[in-house]
Chain A
Amino acid sequence: MHIALPQGSGIGFKPVHAAALLAQGRDLDFIEVHAENLMGAGGPVHGQMDAVRAAFPLSVHGVGLSIGGAQPLDRAHLERLARVVERFEPHSVSEHLAWSTHDGVFFNDLLPMAYDDATLERVVAHVRQVQDRLQRQVLIENPSTYVERAGSAMEEVHFLAALVARTGCGLLLDLNNVVVSQRNRGASPDDYLARFPLHAVGEVHLAGHAIETLDDGAALRIDDHGSPVGDETWRLYARIVARAGALPTLVEWDTDVPAFETLANEARTARRLQRQGAREAA
């Protein structure tokens, strides 16, 4: 039996924050760690995560399975993930709607897919394979995109809804990715969210992004997780809370990592918005 993440909010684990997290972060509701960082054989990294795991519910977030890949899943990597899940018994396991490996080369980036029927069939098979191996539901995260692929024949929200219906997977709704992707394609994040299958969401991600001005004066949003959560993302979050209640919410900050308290306070802001939402709904 696997229990879901608790309501409330958490932060992504940074080794540099380990001591402060255990000393001053006990009010946080859960901690998320990248699965690949736990795939060594052992050592202090595992010891540190044992201590975190003893104090907090854990979310294991994979970044390397390449679920959107055009080729079969890397079985060795799925086995590594299974071992991490067995070893650390997380409350939640999540991955991305993206690809990162082709012909045995790992690109360390979440790369965009074409949304069509053939791709859906493949991703359905991959998600089923992962859930069968792990014997549990996984959450799949909506990507941030800078460039759309030729041949896309369906909306991302419909692709995700079909994936949920076909595999029973849950979704990880990354609101920063929604802002980045929809603004980059000149579309409205609110419209996207109005059609998002919120019933399947098991976790929300919040983060900051950078804005680059292109030669033609247009803005390109880049998902760098290197700044506080943006105003538009907070606004969308308040609306999601009003619609769907207090979903487990994580703040990510991976570039120019700030002091522990700065990151923890972002998570505390998310929790305050959850409580406000609950009061307004009452």
Chain B
Amino acid sequence: MDAPSSPHRGGPEIAQARFAAALLAPGVDARETLAADATPRGFDVHRNTVVSSLVRALAEGFPSVERLVGDEFFAAMAAEAVRAAPPTHPVLLAYGAGFAAFIEAFAPVAHLPYLADVARLDGLRRRAWHAADVQALDLGAFTGAEAGHVAARRIALHPSVGLLRSAHPARTLWAAQNGDEHPAPVAWVAETALVWRSGGALHVDDVDAPLLALLDHARHRPTLAELLSAYTLAETQAKAQAFATALRSGLLVDAEALDAALAHAGGDGLFDGFLPRFPTPPPTPSDPRRITR
């Protein structure tokens, strides 16, 4: 039962618009929307809460970026990001879709060209953490089923799976910020990072070409037979190994089970504005000039 829409905004709506505008723009005066005896500091409390709570939401969503630049710098950078792109819905666990792009264009961090990709990695991890629950593909469940039936099952990626293709060693730099390993001195090369959730745990790992090809195929929902079809012995072996890795890691699901889970879960559109889940490779291999810039 919405209020009837009208081309003319009413008084309360104008006042609320004014109050809202003043929250994010220090130059806008909200005085006319306040009671005559209101203390200006009272409005400032709201102004501060809006920005500081949203900065905190970005810090929670992008912990590796915060560690790379330090709390104080992060807070200043995030405050600008908040003012430039405040949330468009109230689900803050999915706030920050544009933060990586903001970082890319933010002059004070131009000397850290990998920072935006570290932010993208944080974003992929958060999306994976909140992705729908679907049981990983388990071939054991097909035991006793007719072979043709099994071969015709459609396969899909687990909804938590995401991929980052970085021109920088973003995965190694990310890992160094997260204490997951003791990285060797960073080899300054382009890196691909695969992110997914399996059991209750998040994983960030590198990914070789055969596995990448298999996952890229799986996102188009092939049948199991199509996914594993190959022409040469070498190709068959590479596919079989990649398939075994994908099964062991919980990267694949039954497409029907996925659709049932997504219909039940909701929430899946919240991360749509983030990095594409599975970006296609750039047309040319990484350009060394981008790395040494």
List the one stretch of B12-20, B115-123, B204-212, B244-252 in contact with chain A.
Answer: B12-20
Contact of A125 with B1 in the complex, beta carbons under 8 Å = yes
Contact of B35 with A147 in the complex, beta carbons under 8 Å = yes
**With A73-B2, A101-B90, A147-B35 as contacts: A108 and B267 at CB distance below 8 Å:** no
Q: List 10 A-B contacts (CB under 8 A).
A: A42-B131, A69-B16, A74-B90, A80-B266, A111-B19, A149-B33, A150-B34, A152-B35, A212-B41, A220-B39
Q: Residues of A contacting B46 with CB < 8 Å? A: 109, 111-112, 146-147
**Chain A interface (Cβ within 8 Å of chain B)?**
36-37, 39-47, 63-66, 69-74, 76-77, 79-80, 83, 99-109, 111-112, 114, 116, 118-119, 122, 125, 128-129, 132, 145-152, 184, 212, 214, 218, 220, 222
Contact of B34 with A63 in the complex, beta carbons under 8 Å = no
* A-B contact sample (8 more), CB < 8 A, given A102-B16, A105-B87, A147-B38: A41-B131, A42-B132, A42-B133, A43-B160, A70-B13, A108-B87, A111-B23, A146-B42
Contact of A107 with B34 in the complex, beta carbons under 8 Å = no
**With A122-B3, A147-B46, A220-B42 as contacts: A106 and B87 at CB distance below 8 Å:** yes
User: How far, in whole Å, are A79 and B41 apart by their CA atoms in the complex?
Assistant: 36
User: How far, in whole Å, are A200 and B268 apart by their CA atoms in the complex?
Assistant: 37
Contact of B45 with A103 in the complex, beta carbons under 8 Å = no
Contact of A39 with B270 in the complex, beta carbons under 8 Å = yes
Contact of A108 with B261 in the complex, beta carbons under 8 Å = no
Q: Residues of B contacting A69 with CB < 8 Å? A: 16
Q: Residues of A contacting B2 with CB < 8 Å? A: 72-73, 125, 129
Q: Residues of B contacting A114 with CB < 8 Å? A: 12, 15
How distant is A143 from chain B, measured CB to nearest CB, in Å? 12
Query: Which of A41, A70, A111, A184 has a CB less than 8 Å from the CB of B262?
Result: A41
> Across chains A and B, which 6 residue pairs bring their CB atoms closest together, nearest first?
A64-B90, A40-B130, A147-B42, A146-B42, A41-B267, A72-B2
B-side interface residues, number (CB < 8 Å): 59
Contact of B42 with A106 in the complex, beta carbons under 8 Å = no
B88 within 8 A of A: yes
Q: Residues of B contacting A222 with CB < 8 Å? A: 45
Q: Residues of B contacting A64 with CB < 8 Å? A: 89-91
Do most interface residues of chain B lie in helix, strand or loop, or is the interface mixed? helix
User: How far, in whole Å, are A132 and B2 apart by their CA atoms in the complex?
Assistant: 12
Contact of A149 with B129 in the complex, beta carbons under 8 Å = no
User: How far, in whole Å, are A118 and B54 apart by their CA atoms in the complex?
Assistant: 31
B92 within 8 A of A: yes
Report which residue of B2, B57, B131 has the largest number of chain A beta carbons within 10 angstroms of its beta carbon: B2
Interface string of B128-162 (1 = CB under 8 A from A): 11111100000000000000000000000001100
Contact of A80 with B39 in the complex, beta carbons under 8 Å = no
User: How far, in whole Å, are A128 and B1 apart by their CA atoms in the complex?
Assistant: 8
Q: Residues of B contacting A101 with CB < 8 Å? A: 90
Contact of B17 with A36 in the complex, beta carbons under 8 Å = no
* Residues in B195-254 with C-beta less than 8 Å from chain A: 197, 200
Query: Which of B90, B197, B265, B270 has a CB less than 8 Å from the CB of A100?
Result: B90
Interface string of B41-73 (1 = CB under 8 A from A): 111011001100110010000000000000000
